[in-house]
Structure 1
């Protein structure tokens, strides 16, 4: 569990420049789905909140953005840290959250439980930030969509086997749906709702696709 000292430490060294830098990385990765970005700076929230997750929280959360934290993050004191550093209120109602944070090793969150916006206001949805062990070395997935030239392969390590189906359901709601940011340490990879995962080519006649 976090201490009082942990609540007051772990912020950006230079709040303006570090926040601007983190914002540029996230926006660039969101504009180019599947691209891995690297977030600098010394942001460090209570473990198991990751380094990139901490920087994203400090950059995007404020008093007008309710935040959902997984139970382990709440237990670790991340709610107190986030409240002190950003003024953001923590909610345990997923559909009310503008941002949601889940630590590495936790069950992958049910995307349908978060706010997915409306046809009139698709921006009123949740951005879900999930920490993984690595952003490479896992099962390869192929993305297509806006911001991707032809297609791009990603291989985050730690996604559930059902992730392609979960993402297909989310993508089918476009322009509604959640946006997903995968992080691992200081690295991040964005999957906006507009991105689509191509289905694997079926194997026929005993041959590899």
Structure 2
């Protein structure tokens, strides 16, 4: 079975919107994986998210410690016509798992965060993690969250500290989409307050 780039991706988009509206909610994309005719050598949910939000009008950058990043970039461009660019100019930053902590920290500090006239011209991150859960991790609160919620992403304190500094001057900031090995997603938009509790 091949992926239906209208029906299937519309459902993925609705799932992503729901996660953005309810930060910290973990939703599975498992039903939409396994639909690709070619065997993918990386997380299918990452690719689904990329196909859903990228098109010929936007740019992206991939952070990875292997040539998987280059191969994924080629595949994404062939499907969406989106162009690869530098970290500083990228509308979307896709992070694959690996020993890339230093590169992630640097990218987070220099990525786009919009301006007061065009706050939407900021970077959205799609980050691959080992596992997502609502046990431990950071504590989040804000719009779409009843009181507070925990979100475990496996990311380190410096990541969240830099993220928090990027969203201080709302509506400027960045939005985060997390994807794990079970093809689950969860989102932390710029409107969400994050209290550090993760060890990192």
TM-score range, shorter chain: 0.7 to 0.9
Deviations, residues 150-202 of structure 1 (Å, cap 9, x unaligned): 1111122x2013233223212213210111111103111101011011356xx
Contact 1:116 1:122 in 2 (8 A): yes
The match for 1:204 is none
The alignment of Structure 1 onto Structure 2 pairs a total of residues equal to: 187
**Partner Cα distance (1:94, 1:58) in 2:** 19
**Larger relative strand fraction:** 2
Deviations, residues 70-129 of structure 1 (Å, cap 9, x unaligned): 2435655112111111111111x1121111111112424232211100011100001011
Contact 2:137 2:152 in 1 (8 A): yes
**TM-score (ref. length: structure 1):** 0.81
- Give the number of the structure with larger relative contact order, counting CA–CA contacts within 8 Å between residues 6 or more apart: 2
The match for 1:35 is 25
After the TM superposition, list the runs of 4 or more consecutive aligned residues in structure 1 that deviate by more than 4 angstroms.
Answer: 43-46, 73-76
Structure 2 residue 176 is the aligned partner of structure 1 residue 180: yes
Deviation at 1:46, TM superposition (A): 4.6
* Residues 75 and 57 of structure 1: CA distance in aligned 2, closer, same or farther (over 3 Å): closer
Counterpart pick for 1:59 among 31, 52, 55 = 52
Deviation at 1:60, TM superposition (A): 0.8
Q: How does 1:167-206 map to 2 (within 5 A)?
A: 167-185=163-181, 186-198=183-195
Deviation at 1:139, TM superposition (A): 4.4
**TM-score (ref. length: structure 2):** 0.84
Counterpart pick for 1:113 among 86, 110, 114 = 110
Counterpart pick for 2:41 among 20, 39, 47 = 47
Contact 1:105 1:132 in 2 (8 A): no
* Residues 77 and 154 of structure 1: CA distance in aligned 2, closer, same or farther (over 3 Å): same
Structure 2 residue 71 is the aligned partner of structure 1 residue 77: yes
Q: Which has the larger radius of gyration?
A: 1
Deviations, residues 8-40 of structure 1 (Å, cap 9, x unaligned): xxx952111111010001000001111011113
CA RMSD across the alignment: 2.2
Q: How does 1:16-31 map to 2 (within 5 A)?
A: 16-31=6-21
* Contiguous gaps of at least 5 residues in structure 1: 1-10, 201-209
* Residues 75 and 24 of structure 1: CA distance in aligned 2, closer, same or farther (over 3 Å): closer
1:59 alignment partner, SS class? helix
* Contiguous gaps of at least 5 residues in structure 2: none
**Partner Cα distance (1:153, 1:76) in 2:** 34
